[in-house]
């Protein structure tokens, strides 16, 4: 499994782009892709990869804040312009189809009626397990200012946990156990921002779940420059955990 970070920033980060992860579904370059979240700035970084317009198989939306889903209209516009025909699975929380449709009506009012390919919406609530093609999807709510689903995605005998936004909860901790990697929002150094994670809480989360590798994303733009020093100070308490600070364009192969 290859994980490509299209962005690792929060909503207003001008240097790292909105957090979004592109997962390759097979070992070769002809494999399909899964996109985890699609905020304002994400589509242009996706287009810059010069992808085949049919390769994206699934789009996951963790929650309905703009930096996680409002790039979707532009993504669909590009697919229409490039002549896509393959159906696109769009997965996420309850209300998904209604909210994406509303966003499309605001951005490009007539596009959905002439898109040329199908949108297959799938809501995945906690407690459900959905199998789509060769991938298995499970979710749990974290603690955020709006309902936000963390995701466990299993593919190619590997599993990743992606938090979306928010603090860990007992449910997300249970969901993450046994994963090969955690990708978690770490907005601050400590738990001082309601509804957001922190570096300290994320590392404890990795320890509690027994996951040996964690990638910290969605840091506040003023915290990111301090993150290396902060990790040096506390990393000794979390020996055995590989701590990653990916940047826009970073890749990980599991």
- Which pLDDT score, from 0 to 100, does residue 29 have? 77
pLDDT of residue 125: 94
Structure tokens at 130: 């959905």
CATH 3.40.640.10 assigned to domain 2-253? The reply is no
Of 244 and 189, the one with more pLDDT: 244
* Residues with Cβ within 8 Å of residue 103, at least 6 apart in sequence: 69, 70, 72, 73
Report the pLDDT averaged over residues 211-235. Answer: 83
pTM: 0.94
Question: What is the band of 222 on the pLDDT scale with cuts at 50, 70, 90?
Answer: confident
Query: In the chain, pLDDT over 90 holds for what percent of residues?
Result: 79
With bands split at pLDDT 50, 70 and 90, how would you rate the model's confidence at 227? confident
**pLDDT surpasses 80 at 61:** yes
Q: Is pLDDT at 104 greater than 80 in this prediction?
A: yes
Q: What integer is the mean pLDDT of 26-51?
A: 92
Measured from the Cβ of residue 45, the count of other Cβ atoms closer than 10 Å reads 18
If you average pLDDT over every residue of the chain, what do you get? 93
| pLDDT higher than threshold 80 for residue 35 | yes
Give residue limits of the domains in the chain: 2-253
Quote the pLDDT of residue 197: 84
Q: Can you give the pLDDT at residue 194?
A: 78
Q: Are 177 and 171 in contact (CB under 8 A)?
A: no
As a whole number, mean pLDDT of residues 107-123 equals 97
Write down the H helix ranges in 41-117.
42-48, 66-69, 72-81, 96-107
Q: Parallel, antiparallel, or unpaired: how do β-strands 251-253 and 129-132 relate?
A: unpaired
Asked if 116 and 84 count as a contact pair (C-beta separation under 8 A), the reply is yes
| Per-residue model confidence as pLDDT tens digits over 129-188 | 999 989 999 999 999 999 999 999 999 899 999 999 999 999 999 999 999 999 999 987
What value does the mean pLDDT take over residues 210-225? 90
> What values do phi and psi take at 127, rounded to 5?
95, -15
């Amino acid at each position: 499994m290859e994980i490509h970070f299209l962005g690792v920033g929060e909503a207003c980060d001008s240097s790292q782009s909105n957090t979004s992860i592109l997962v390759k579904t097979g070992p070769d370059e002809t494999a399909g892709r899964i996109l985890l979240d699609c905020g304002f700035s994400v589509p242009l970084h996706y287009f810059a990869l010069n992808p085949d317009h049919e390769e994206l198989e699934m789009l996951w939306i963790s929650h309905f804040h703009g930096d996680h889903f409002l790039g979707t209209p532009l993504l669909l516009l590009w697919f229409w312009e490039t002549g896509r025909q393959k159906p696109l699975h769009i997965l996420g929380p309850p209300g998904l189809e209604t909210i994406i449709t509303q966003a499309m009506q605001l951005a490009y009012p007539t596009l959905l009626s002439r898109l040329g390919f199908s949108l297959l919406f799938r809501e995945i609530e906690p407690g459900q397990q959905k199998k789509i093609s060769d991938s298995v999807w499970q979710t749990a709510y974290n603690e955020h200012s709006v309902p936000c689903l963390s995701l466990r995605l299993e593919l190619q005998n590997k599993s990743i946990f992606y938090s979306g936004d928010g603090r860990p909860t007992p449910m997300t901790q249970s969901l993450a156990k046994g994963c090969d990697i955690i990708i978690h929002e770490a907005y601050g150094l400590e738990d001082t921002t309601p509804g957001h994670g922190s570096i300290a809480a994320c590392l404890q989360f990795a320890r509690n779940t027994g996951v040996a590798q964690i990638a910290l994303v969605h840091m506040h733009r003023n915290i990111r420059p301090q993150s290396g020093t902060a990790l040096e100070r506390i990393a000794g308490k979390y020996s055995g955990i590989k701590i990653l600070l990916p940047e826009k364009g970073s890749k990980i192969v599991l």
